Structure 1
Amino acid sequence: MRQTSEAPFLGRHEELARMGTWLDRAADGEPRIVVVDGTAGIGKTSLIRRFLAGRARDCRMLTASGEELERDLAYGLITQLMGHLPGAAGAVLPEAADGAASGPAVQDPVSVGAVFLDALGRFQDRKPVVLVIDDIHWADTPSLHALTFVLRRLRVDRVLTVLATRDSADPRLPQGLHRLVQDETTLRLTLEGLGVPELMALNAALGPASLPRRTMVRLRDHTLGNPLHVKALLQQFPADVLGGRAVLPAPRRYERIIAERLTACAPGTRRLVQAASVLGMSSPLHLAAEVGAVAEPLTALTGAMTCELLEEGPIGTPPQVAFPHPLLRAAVYRGLEPAERSHLHRVAAGLTVDPWIALQHRVHAAARPDGQLADDLAEFASQQSAKGAWSAAASASMAAARLAAEPGRQARWLLQGVEYLLLAGDVSQAAELERTVRGLAPDAEQHYVLGHLALTTGRLDEARRELATCWDTCDATTGPETLRKAAEQMAWLCLIQGDAPRIIHWAERGLALPPGERSSFLRDSLAIGLALSGDYEQGMRSLAHLPDTGPRDTPQQLDGLLARGMLRLWNGQLHEARKDLKEAFDAHRRGGLPYAALVALGFLTDAAYRAGQWDEAIAHGTHAVSLAEDTDQISILAVVHAVTAYLLAGRGDFRAAEAHAESAAEHARVLSDVNDSAFAATARALVHAARGEHENVIEQLSPFLRPEIVHRYGIEEPGLVAWRPLLCEALARTGRTEEAQAVLAPYERRAAERNRPLEQAAAARCRGLLEEARGHAEAAGQAFRDGLRHCAQGDGCWEEALLHLAYGTFLRRSGRRRSAAAELEAAHRTFRRLRATPYLERCDRELTACGHVTVRPRTTWHPVLTAQELTVARLAVQGMTNQQIARELVLSVKTIEYHLSNSYSKLGISSRMGLIDKLARDA
């Protein structure tokens, strides 16, 4: 056997050059992603190391790797990355070492991602950052979601992200990450095997024998040019074996090659390497020595390094050991005799302080089904679920199912694990298990899980069948928890479809059962169902148990809070609605229901839009879209895209608004749901209305007048979605007054019956436009004044500005220019503050027609600042530091600095004092 030596890096010149180009762009403030994929041993890690070696002086490095045995360790990958950030790891993730049993496991990916984003922003202050993640296909799911969250928010950061994986289409990767991989700004490098010239150079470097070209061709064909396999064969076999006529050893015998190399080591070295393989790709030297009973760990490590079996980790305390390649570690691990492997895992379990990692070692040590261990795993899963640590709960339940001796327990814990995956937002992994779930003996629990999965993935008809079957097939053995959760999902399904009577029916059935331990959507569903059926007061009375303020640490303090915020929104209590919805989002995100958190954020966006807090609304809307896409929450995507489009249409950002409206329409088509279609159509109509394209508004919204829709769905409830006032306005402005009257009358009646001031104000504005179109000047004027009176009953709002514009326009056309100017100037102030460009321009034209020259002062900022620049500038004026602004908007500090710099340049100022002066003058 040849002596081992350091092999040179061979080939891959084009790949290195392309990676270098991508790094140069990142260094100039254009964050980029490189994905390197290929089969195991093909050279992904070597390529990345070579690339980093050439750039080490010019960049700062952050490296981490996925670990097969640590895929269930929540935030294990993020914890690795944070360990490279000076002063960050201990400060922001103080409980990371405790794994799933403590802090990070309970945190959601958004919170963890925000912390990492903040630290990453500070890390790039002097040099660009190269963020490298090897074997991302083995990373834990919470880390993948947090990483996706971070990568989507890098705007002008000097960050190059390099991801290595065996398959970039791996279904375990979140859909949001798949979209990033497919983005045009991502460089994808799929590595093939080395060619014969490179393999001949490898042979020459290893020495001493120089093999002929025909032998290297044979090796190339045999291994497909896999450099790791070729190197192993060259080191293991003499030239006559490799060049003879005998069949070459199969590449899969790489394990045997490593085993023979390991056998040649001293006993202490061998035990150290074997123990390290049980602990993972890297581990503390002292822990590996204890597990392997190695008396002289440094001597053993030296021997392992000589044989290229281990590497010394970064210099630090305590010393670390690491395997050069995952395949090498896997070969050592698989080469252990089963009894020895089990023994080492048992020893490791006894030495590990983290409860979850200790349980995992016990799982790997188990030689047969183990009822006690399965019970311990199930208990751990229960503890984690109680804290909202759904990912850790899912992993523990799945392990319990594998180890349970009784088929009934296997099925129960598997089903529980799939539900936890759905609650964790890990929809893709749950979907992969659907066939397994269908193979179980049918019972109520199975039908519930299949229904929950179908609902989460947007298959509404299938979800209804499965959830109904859950109730129909329940018997004395069916626990009330299963039925309560089935009722909860059925109520949610009915809510998506706006079927108020069925929402109430299922919510009441679920609430009639004994209460559960986790948060539930049943109280929310009941209140929303009552409100959609017209009984707003009864809906609010059903929420009387809620305290006015937090904390929201128990189901009793949380359940129903989202509904209260929504009902207050529909009732025009915008300040109270925003408060409730923000609390509901925060509380559900900490450990409640993921889909409830997103619903809260979506309607919080709508509330801020109606309240005229558009910077806040845009921040919420983009956040909601990102979260829903990153966690595959299909059922809420139409709504969050639609309400985000509302804002962008108002700002005149028509291209972005249309993109969101089209996305909303596409998701509504997937769900085949009228309510979502109404949100999407309203978003499209608002784009046309802002452009003054009234015929297009009519085309978008007229289909909702069909009797089968009008008499069945919740879109008729005033305050939910504003399609009727939009349609009525468009009909009035195009002279179709009889049609406008038919659209307006039921809306006026319902708004008055519900006593909803803002809806009455919108109805009054539409009445004014209609009467003006009919030539009834007195009735029109009275309607506009009634609308403003309704607005005065609450906080300032967007509807009030629209009323001032409509009334001012009416007065100007009636020849009352002085009165008109007063109304138009009130509208103008709001439009300028909100940067509602289409409406501002319309208002300017009306003021000019009144004889008022609307010369905007040179200090005006809204025509030149982007939405993001304006949001950042306003927060800066409030006295927030760059870091505080970054945390508030969940962006990097670098991005905040970039936006402020652009704002200074555009406004001709050089400091925050100048910014305060500019914004104060225009307020």
Structure 2
Amino acid sequence: MSPDRRPGRGSTLIDREAERKILVELLNSVRGGESRTLVIRGDAGVGKTALLQYMTEQAENCRVVRVTGVQSEAELPFAGVHQLCLPLLNRLDRLPAPQREALRVAFGLAEGSVPDRFLVGLAVLSLLSEAAEVQPLVCLIDDQQWLDRASALALGFVARRLGADPVGIVFATRVTGDDTAGLPELHLTGLPDADARALLESELNGPLDTRVRDQILAETRGNPLALLELPRGLTRTQLAGGFGLPGVAPLTARIEDSFLRQLNALPSESRRLLQLAAADPSGDTLLVWRAAKRLGIETQTEALVLAGLAEFGARVSFRHPLLRSAAYRSASEHDRRAAHLALAEATDRTVDPDRRAWHLAQAATGPDESVAEDLEQSANRAQSRGGLTAAAAFLQRSALLTVDPARRAQRTLAAAQTHAQAGEFSMALELLATAQSGPLDELQSARIDLLYAEINFASGLGSDAPALLLRAAKRLEPLDAELARDTYLRAWMAAILAGRSATPVGLPEVSQAAQARKLPGHPPGQADLLLDALTLMVTQGPAAAAPKLRAVMDHFTAAGISAEDDLRWGWFAQATASALLVYDPWRTILERQVRTARDVGALDLLPVMLAALGTAIMWSGDFAAAELVKVEEEEVCAATGSPLASLTALALACMRGDQTKAVPLIEKTINEATTRGQGVSVAYANWTAAILYNGLGLHDDALAAATESSEDAPGQFVSLWALPELIEAAVRTGDTELARDALSRLSATARAGGADFGLGLEARCRALLSEGDIAEGFFLEAIERLARTPLRPELARARLLYGEWLHGQDRRADARGQVRTAFEMFTEMGMAAFAERARRELHATGARVHLRTVDAVGTLTAKEALIAELARDGRTNPEIGSQLFISARTVEWHLRKVFGKLGITSRKELDAAMAGERHMLPSA
């Protein structure tokens, strides 16, 4: 390609026809109302920037916004996103309030609680969508690899969530990272020989020795910037004879060397000015003028402009990012420090304190507590805006400049903790090792233990986490009772999640240690009561713990729970209801938790919450509602990059008896959970597998799966849920001793909970192990109790088992009544395997019945069904978009398709169109 290389001038490309065609097609799609994303990947100088400039020139009838990543700006949170969104902020007021406030806080325009990074990403998505309402929008991100981490994550999120928005996003980057992985990619390589030769010759003013030309073509490998820049600064003698072109340095370094030759040819004052401008990544021309005055540099730019190296307009523009790098590198260490000091002094400490602190840090010649303090304050500001990576970088630099060894260790530990919160575990571990070498007090040392444990837990190494967290909790106990309590709770959660995978300690050991801890002198708070109730249940059983479990349950189902307490302790609170087999409070707590997480944008917590809520809803037999939760769960995981498999999808497939879909999901879940040391997911997969196999009548397989699940954490949670499956399968295979042992465990919890849910399951299982009138009494009790609960699948199964027992007693007429009711319930819910089992039983009693199938509502996809449901419930398009991480325009696009499929024209008709048919929503 042969562009005019002066900054600010257009480019005329003489090559890259295939690539230009792709970019023009992208622009046409955006102009046509569609969204498009593209990653242009290639080495430095290969022409990515020129292609972005070409897009700018071709983007007729589109609005173009651009941002360029700068390596030295990577410590300033949301700098890239702010640069991109700045021209669009006049539409900020049109965003939903949580998104608007998140973006204002992220940009430092307002103070508030730390915004969730995914909420910021959703706000950027909504802002781009709003801007595109006026005119199709094209976002060009150059040097994406140098964006600050917060911006890179936000823009990667946006690129994956674009829907029916006339928005195009094109990234130009040297490497594909996690931020852009999986997006459509255009790999840019060197020019073909003919084009490379034409480009080289177009830039030469005289003849070139053939051997030199061939050497340049071979060594540049068609890299356009290298073809343009390497010959510059060489004499005609060198070009004629080939001197001055050694081929030993990497190509990027050789391009920079070419720029260095051009810089060295400049007058001294011009070179110093360019070095000063290179030291400040903001491109603020007025700031550079002020700093130049402090250094006594005459601000004459004619030589720079004439040489085509830089332009000093509204912003300082370098001809190429490598030129900025070369200019900065060309200054001596003394001159670089002087430039940064002048820039710091020229920066207003009230308007831009973080950039001032950053320049002062670069100017420091050694430890400087004043600068270290400024950097620490910058870290606090960055963290309050959600810029965790930036905060960690500020703290890390602050620690290096700290004079006092103890304070240095403290700041290093803080930097490690912030890196861990940002998911940068390897850097956090490096800093922890550094912090350990400094003077630490006992509390700091215990905090290091805690951070090691939390990194282990967060990085997915679930089997070791309980032991590490328990060790940290014990060390913290005499030092910080509140932090110790919170750590015991985390250790308890880690032990639940690890299950049988936990080594060398598990749930019993964690619970025993927590029960033995020294209680604080003040009255216990809700967190203390939570820990006491949950650990007492493990150490002394559900009967002893029931009063305390109920007290916690009652507190968290009452009105007035704050959002903070709900998010912090709600997961533990729902466990108190689940542990006692009490359904309504369990679901109430879960539903409120999910609402709260949505409202405040706590998207990192949503996948686990939705999985639990999906399980509770699925257990009620409302598979359509569970299907909607599953869709949201999958949308959240896709948006946040969560590796969690959809447990709701697994449970639904097993409950429906869809063996073809269920078995691969069971195997996948078990394999992935085993690798991560998450025993609870293995237990969950085995529990749902047992449901599947009992429905299919494969009782040997059901027994094996239920046994595996029940042994994970005996008598607790998923292992408790597996007991009814184990009892039914054991009875059917003749292992009554195993069934009676399982019944004993189930009975302890059911009677402690005292709810119809648990007592109904217990009665049903006890009936299977009884005879005569006693058995029938328990069957009737089970049906009566379960009929008072929302648990329709369990009620239908009780009727089926009772009918099968009646058939065995040669009471065919009575049997037919129970089994027919069960069959109708199974069919209505969509439990195909159990319905077929009931149909076979009816056939055996002499009745004739055929399986009935129903079509889905219209041809709605699962996502369309969810959007229709939310719209029917009165949610606005922005509210639906916030819940599903899509723009309001994309919601409207989906609703138009829904209206067409249902044959309606407005939201008002949704209720009638979908009434009575929610059970038939698709299971895709």
Between 1:528-537 and 1:154-163, the stretch displaced more is 154-163
Partner of 2:747: 748
Q: Deviations over 1:126-170 (max 9, x none)?
A: 9876554333332333334444444454566666543333222x5
Q: Does 1:891 align with 2:869?
A: no
Give the Cα separation in 2 of the matches to 1:569 and 1:67.
51
2:673 aligned with 1:668, yes or no? yes
Q: Does 1:229 align with 2:223?
A: no
Change (3 A) 1:39 1:272: same
- Give 2:614's aligned residue: 605
Verify: 1:41 aligned to 2:51, yes or no.
no
Secondary structure of the equivalent of 1:604?
Answer: helix
AA in 2 matched with 1:395: A
Partner of 2:70: 67
What SS class does the counterpart of residue 368 from structure 1 fall into? Answer: coil
Cα distance 1:388–1:27, how it changes in 2: closer, same or farther (>3 A)? closer
Q: After the TM superposition, which of the residue ranges 815-824 and 718-727 deviates more from structure 2? A: 815-824
User: Residues 511 and 452 (structure 1 numbering): CA distance in 2 closer, same or farther, change over 3 Å?
Assistant: farther
Task: Supply the AA of the counterpart residue of 2:39.
Answer: V
| Equivalent position of 2:562 in the other structure | 552
Q: Does 2:683 match 1:678?
A: yes
Q: Is 2:42–2:173's contact at 8 Å kept on the other side of the alignment?
A: yes
Residue number in structure 1 paired with 2:922: none
Write the distance in 2 (CA, Å) between the matches of 1:375 and 1:197: 58
> Please, what TM-score do these two structures have when normalized by structure 1?
0.79
Aligned partner of residue 609 in structure 1, secondary structure: helix
Is structure 2 residue 194 aligned with structure 1 residue 193? no
8 Å CA contact 2:102–2:120 kept in 1: the answer is no
Q: What are the ranges of 5 or more consecutive residues in structure 1 without an aligned counterpart?
A: 314-318
**2:866 aligned with 1:866:** no
Q: 1:472 to 1:716 in 2, by over 3 A?
A: closer
Q: CA deviation at 1:777?
A: 7.5
* Paired-residue identity, %: 25
SS in 2 for 1:815: helix
Q: Secondary structure at the match of 1:162?
A: strand
Match of 2:174 in 1: 166
Name the counterpart of 2:149.
Answer: 141
Check 1:904–1:343 CA distance in 2 against 1; reply closer, same or farther (3 A cut).
Answer: same
Query: Equivalent residues in 2 for 1:459-608 (5 A)?
Result: 459-460=461-462, 463=465, 487=488, 489-498=490-499, 499-507=506-514, 512=519, 525-533=531-539, 534=542, 535-541=545-551, 548-550=558-560, 552=562, 559-581=568-590, 584=593, 599-608=608-617
Contact 1:369 1:404 in 2 (8 A): yes
Secondary structure of 1:722 counterpart: helix
* 2:652 alignment partner, SS class: helix
Residue 873 of structure 1: how far off its partner (Å) = 1.7
The CA deviation at 1:784 is 4.2
Q: What is the CA–CA distance in structure 2 between the aligned matches of 1:590 and 1:68, rounded to whole Å?
A: 35
Partner residue of 1:786 out of 781, 787, 806 = 781
- Relative distance call for 1:895 and 1:630 in structure 2 (3 A) is closer
What's the offset of the Cα at 1:107?
Answer: 0.7
Q: Is contact 2:878-2:888 (8 Å) kept?
A: yes
CA contact (8 A) 2:73 2:79 kept: yes
Question: How far apart in 2 are the matches of 1:79 and 1:847?
Answer: 67
1:411 is paired with a residue whose SS is helix
Per-residue CA distance 1:777-798 (angstroms, 9 max, x = gap): 7556544432343335555665
Structure 2 equivalent of residue 412 of structure 1: 410
| 1:255-314 C-alpha deviation (Å, 9 max, x unpaired) | 56546656777999878755553442x54554554454599x9x978986654444689x
Residue 875 of structure 1: CA displacement?
1.7
Shift in Å at residue 678 of structure 1? 0.6
CA contact (8 A) 1:485 1:510 kept: no
Deviation at 1:899, TM superposition (A): 3.8
Mapped partners of 2:426, 2:16: distance in 1:
34
Structure 1, 85-94 or 560-569: larger mean CA deviation = 85-94
Q: What number of residue pairs does the alignment pair up? A: 878
Which aligned pairs between 1:82-231 and structure 2 lie closer than 5 A?
Answer: 82-83=85-86, 85=88, 87-89=90-92, 91-92=94-95, 93=100, 96=103, 99=106, 106-122=114-130, 131-154=139-162, 161-168=169-176, 170=177, 173=178, 177=179, 181=181, 183=182, 186-231=183-228
What is the CA-CA distance between 1:758 and the residue it aligns to? 1.7
Report the alpha carbon displacement of residue 877 of structure 1 after superposing the two structures with TM.
1.9
- Match of 1:422? 420
Residue 691 of structure 1: how far off its partner (Å): 5.7
Asked if 2 retains the 8 angstrom alpha-carbon contact of 1:4 and 1:307, the reply is no
Contact persistence 1:426–1:631 (CA under 8 A):
no
Q: Aligned equivalents of 1:27 and 1:659: distance in 2? A: 42
Give the conservation status (yes or no) of the 8 Å contact 1:106–1:590: no
Distance 1:903 1:686, change over 3 A: farther
One-letter amino acid of the counterpart of residue 361, structure 2: V
What value does the CA root-mean-square deviation take over the aligned residues?
Answer: 5.0
Separation in structure 1 between the aligned mates of residue 686 and residue 599 of structure 2, nearest angstrom: 33
Tell me, in whole angstroms, the C-alpha distance in 2 between the residues paired with 1:745 and 1:404.
Answer: 63
Report the residue type matching 1:235 in the other structure. Answer: R
Deviations 1:747-768 (Å, cap 9, x if unpaired)? 2343223324323333444455
Q: CA deviation at 1:563?
A: 1.4
For residues 858-880 of structure 1, the C-alpha deviation after alignment (integer angstroms, 9 at most, x for no partner) is xx744843322222222222233
- Farther off after superposition, 872-881 or 384-393: 384-393
Secondary structure of the 2:367 match is coil
Q: Output the CA distance in 1 between the equivalents of 2:813 and 2:775.
A: 14
Cα distance between partner residues in 2 of 1:432 and 1:113: 29
Q: Give 2:652's match in structure 1, choosing from 647, 651, 661.
A: 647
Instruction: Tell me the SS of whatever aligns to 2:39.
Output: strand
Provide the residue aligned with 1:9 in structure 2. 13
Relative to 1, partners in 2 of residues 1:466 and 1:909: Cα closer, same or farther, differing over 3 Å?
closer
Aligned to 2:727: 728
For 2:604 and 2:585, locate their aligned partners in 1 and report how far apart those are by CA, in whole Å. Answer: 22
1:399 aligned to 393, 397, 400, which one?
397
Contact preservation (8 Å) 1:106, 1:591: no
Q: Which whole-Å CA distance do the structure 2 matches of 1:622 and 1:225 have between them? A: 48
Paired letter, 2:746: Y
Distance in 1, matches of 2:836 and 2:859, equals 15
Q: Gaps (5+ residues) in structure 2?
A: 500-505, 919-924
Q: Distance in 1 between matches of 2:517 and 2:597?
A: 20
Q: State the 1:98 CA deviation.
A: 6.3
Distance change (3 Å), C-alpha of 1:386 and 1:122: closer
The whole-number CA distance in structure 2 between the counterparts of 1:366 and 1:653 is 67
Partner of residue 708, structure 2: 703
Cα distance between partner residues in 1 of 2:34 and 2:655: 29
SS at match of 2:915: helix
Aligned partner letter, 1:875: L
- The answer (yes or no) to whether the contact 2:31–2:166 under 8 Å persists in 1 is yes
Measure, in 2, the Cα distance between the counterparts of 1:686 and 1:26: 48
What code does the residue aligned with 1:216 have?
R
CA 1:568–1:554 in structure 2 vs 1: closer, same or farther (change >3 Å)? Answer: same
Q: Quick one: distance in 2 between partners of 1:510 and 1:50?
A: 68
Change over 3 Å in CA distance of 1:322–1:388 after alignment to 2:
closer
Q: Give the whole-Å Cα distance in 1 for the aligned partners of 2:386 and 2:520.
A: 22
Report the counterpart of residue 375 of structure 1 in structure 2: 373
What is the identity, as a one-letter code, of the residue corresponding to 1:530? Answer: L
* Aligned pairs for 1:357-368 within 5 A: 357-368=355-366
